[in-house]
C-alpha cells in the first residue's frame, strides 16, 4: 500500500493517522467524562485531566501530518460520485472536524495558560500561550465545553455517514479509509 493518498484510496499514513486519532478522541472524551467519578483534587481525577490534555495536544500535533498527507496526495474520489448536496455537507463536516482537531487543543492550552497551570506533554512542560487571567480562563473553559459537546455530534454524524454509505448507498466511502486485510 502506498504511503500517500491516491485517486482511489487513502494512503497508509492517512489511514494510520485517522484510526490513531479515533482512539485518541475516544480517550479524550472518556477521560474528561470519567473524571467526575472522583472528587476534585483526587490524584486519579488529576491524572485523568493530565492525560486528557496530553492526548488532546497529541491530536493537535497529528492533525498537521494529516493535513500535509491530504495536501500531498489529495482526497480519493468516491464512486459512484456523491450528489452536490452530499459533497457540500461532507466538506462542511470534514472542515468542522479539522477545526475541532485544531481549535479544541488550543482552547485547552489556553485554559491551562490563563489559569496559570503547567501544560503537561508526556514529561515535558509546554510554554504558556498567555499570562494568568481567571476571568478569561472561565470564558475559554465554557466555550471549550460547548464545542466539546458539538464535537460529539460532529463525530457521530461522521461515523453514521460512513456506515450509511457503506451499508445503504454501497459506495466506497468507508472502504477508502479502512486498512486492507
| Position 37 in a domain | yes
pTM (predicted TM-score):
0.93
Over the stretch 117-137, which tens digit does the pLDDT of each residue have? Answer: 999 999 999 999 999 999 999
C-alpha cell at 176: 477508502
| Position 176 in a domain | no
Residue 181 has pLDDT above 90, yes or no: no
DSSP 8-state symbol, 36? G
Q: How far apart are CA 32 and CA 159, in angstroms?
A: 21
Domain membership of residue 24 as a residue range: 12-169
| Position 1 in a domain | no
120, HSE (Cβ side, Cα atoms, 13 Å): 12
| Position 55 in a domain | yes
Over the stretch 15-36, which tens digit does the pLDDT of each residue have? Answer: 999 999 999 999 999 999 999 9
DSSP 8-state symbol, 77? P
Q: How far apart are CA 107 and CA 110, in angstroms?
A: 5
Over the stretch 48-58, which tens digit does the pLDDT of each residue have? Answer: 999 999 999 99
Number of domains composing the chain: 1
pLDDT of residue 180: 84
Q: Would you call 146 exposed, middle or buried from its count of C-beta atoms within 10 A (0-12, 13-18, 19+)?
A: exposed
Q: How far apart are CA 109 and CA 56, in angstroms?
A: 9
| Position 175 in a domain | no
Q: How far is CA 173 from the centre of its chain?
A: 19
Mean pLDDT (whole number) for 78-85: 95
> Using omega within 30 degrees of 0 as the cis cutoff, is the peptide bond preceding 80 cis?
yes
| Position 178 in a domain | no
* Residue 112: Cβ within 10 Å count: 19
DSSP 8-state symbol, 33? H
Assign residue 145 the CATH number of its domain: 1.20.950
| Position 7 in a domain | no
Question: Are 60 and 106 spatial neighbours (Cβ–Cβ below 8 Å)?
Answer: yes
Amino acid at each position: 500500500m502506498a504511503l500517500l493518498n491516491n485517486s482511489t484510496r487513502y494512503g497508509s499514513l492517512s489511514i494510520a493517522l485517522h484510526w490513531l486519532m479515533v482512539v485518541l478522541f475516544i480517550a479524550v472524551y472518556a477521560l474528561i467524562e470519567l473524571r467526575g467519578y472522583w472528587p476534585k483534587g483526587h490524584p486519579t481525577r488529576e491524572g485523568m485531566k493530565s492525560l486528557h490534555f496530553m492526548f488532546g495536544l497529541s491530536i493537535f500535533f497529528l492533525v498537521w501530518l494529516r493535513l500535509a498527507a491530504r495536501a500531498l496526495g489529495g482526497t480519493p474520489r468516491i464512486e459512484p460520485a456523491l450528489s452536490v448536496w452530499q459533497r457540500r455537507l461532507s466538506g462542511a463536516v470534514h472542515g468542522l472536524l479539522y477545526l475541532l482537531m485544531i481549535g479544541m487543543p488550543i482552547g485547552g492550552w489556553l485554559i491551562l495558560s490563563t489559569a496559570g497551570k503547567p501544560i503537561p506533554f508526556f514529561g515535558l512542560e509546554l510554554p504558556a500561550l498567555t499570562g494568568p487571567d481567571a476571568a478569561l480562563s472561565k470564558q475559554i473553559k465554557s466555550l471549550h465545553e460547548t464545542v466539546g459537546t458539538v464535537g460529539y455530534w460532529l463525530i457521530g454524524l461522521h461515523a453514521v455517514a460512513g456506515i450509511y454509505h457503506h451499508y445503504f448507498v454501497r459506495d466506497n466511502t468507508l472502504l477508502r479509509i479502512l486498512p486492507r486485510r
